[in-house]
Amino acid sequence: MSGIALRLTPVSLLGGRRSLRLVERNVLVYRRGWVFLVTGFFEPFFYLLSIGLGLSHLVGRFHVGAQVVPYTAFVAPGMLAASAMNGALFDATFNIFFKLKITKVYDAVLATPLGVSDVALGELVWTLMRAGLYSGAFLVVMAALGYVLSPWAVLCYPAAVLIGFAFSAAGMAATSYMRTWQDFDRIALAMLPLFLFSATFYPLTVYAGWLQLVVRLTPLYQGVVLVRGLDAGALSWVLVGHALYLLAMGGVGLAVTSRRFAQLLKP
């Protein structure tokens, strides 16, 4: 591969094996602090339990594709998507900022054969592993509680990993522009409305027409509808559109992250 081609490639596939060394480092760091790995799972899990034990008896049934389902079965896929978002964003923001600005871990990493693209790809793989852990555990809980509606629900897992990819790449890109811990207030300001208003807890039809358009453009909405459709077996080309949205979001975020890391970590 020519030098020009390497410069044009945001994250070189040739460095994929080297980036796994950074993943290995993260695994070793967290093996004694495994409790921190599961914290992002509990918030949506507790929401689901509280809704299942309380609101489900007060709220009617909902249409998902051709099925009419109880409220808990409607909410559960949305919570799965939110769980993937939470896990990905936590690692892609707080942890990346700490390593980048406070402990200067990446400066030490770049003293090894690893390059900037290896750092970006390695951290992305690690955040996807974390999002996958949350999503897999949550899907098992859904199945145990009877909220899995069709055999197609097995595709909810790769869909949740795709959601994690989109949000982790975007989160890493946003973190590269942060200067102080106070900047994380902006991340929280973005996450909470996404969590509450992306059709996670109620259908899109509750909004006025122009608000429906706004919600349709948000990234978590894409993930919620994708996972909910797969869980119900309501397959359509619309779901492909949601998946492509998330894939494009992740690709753009990864490209920005690679470029920004090259600027911030240059000798």
Q: What is the pLDDT of residues 160-201, one digit of tens each?
A: 999 999 999 999 999 989 888 888 888 888 888 998 899 888
Q: Determine the Cα–Cα distance for residues 69 and 71; give it in Å rounded to an integer.
A: 7
Question: Is 179 contained in some domain?
Answer: yes
Mean pLDDT over 2-31 rounds to: 59
3-state helix, strand, coil split of the chain in percent (to 5) is 80, 0, 20
Share of the chain above pLDDT 90, in %: 25
Phi first, then psi: what are they for 60, rounded to 5°? Answer: -75, -165
How confident is the model over 99-144, as pLDDT tens digits? 888 888 888 888 888 888 888 888 888 888 888 888 888 888 888 8
Is 6 among the domain residues?
no
- The count of structural domains within the chain is 1
- Tell me what pLDDT residue 263 has: 87
* Residues 105 and 123 sit within 8 Å (Cβ to Cβ): no
Average pLDDT for 205-217: 89
| Residue 216, pLDDT score | 93
Average pLDDT over residues 211-239: 92
Any idea of the CA torsion for 194, 200, 201, 202, to the nearest 10 degrees?
Answer: 100
pLDDT at 13 over 50: no
Per-residue pLDDT, 230: 93
pLDDT at 23 over 70: yes
User: Burial level of 227, CB count in 10 A (0-12/13-18/19+)?
Assistant: buried
Of 134, 87, 93, 99, the C-alpha closest to 29 is: 99
Q: Which two tokens stand for residue 109?
A: 């990493």
Examine the pLDDT at 11 and tell me if it is beyond 60: no
Provide the pLDDT for residue 164.
92
The answer to whether residue 126 is domain-embedded is: yes
Each residue's pLDDT tens digit, 51-77 = 766 776 777 777 776 777 788 888 889
Which of the two residues, 46 and 173, has the higher pLDDT score?
Answer: 173
Among 41, 50, 63, 57, which residue's Cα sits nearest to residue 202? 63
Please give the residue range of the domain that contains residue 65.
14-264
4 falls within a domain: no
Residues 6 or more apart in contact with residue 110 via CB below 8 angstroms: 116, 119, 265, 267
Task: Tell me, yes or no, whether 1 lies in a domain.
Answer: no
In a domain, 7, yes or no: no
> For position 238, what pLDDT does the model report?
92
Residue 2 in domain: no
Q: For residue 122, tell me if it sits in a domain.
A: yes
Whole-model pTM? 0.85
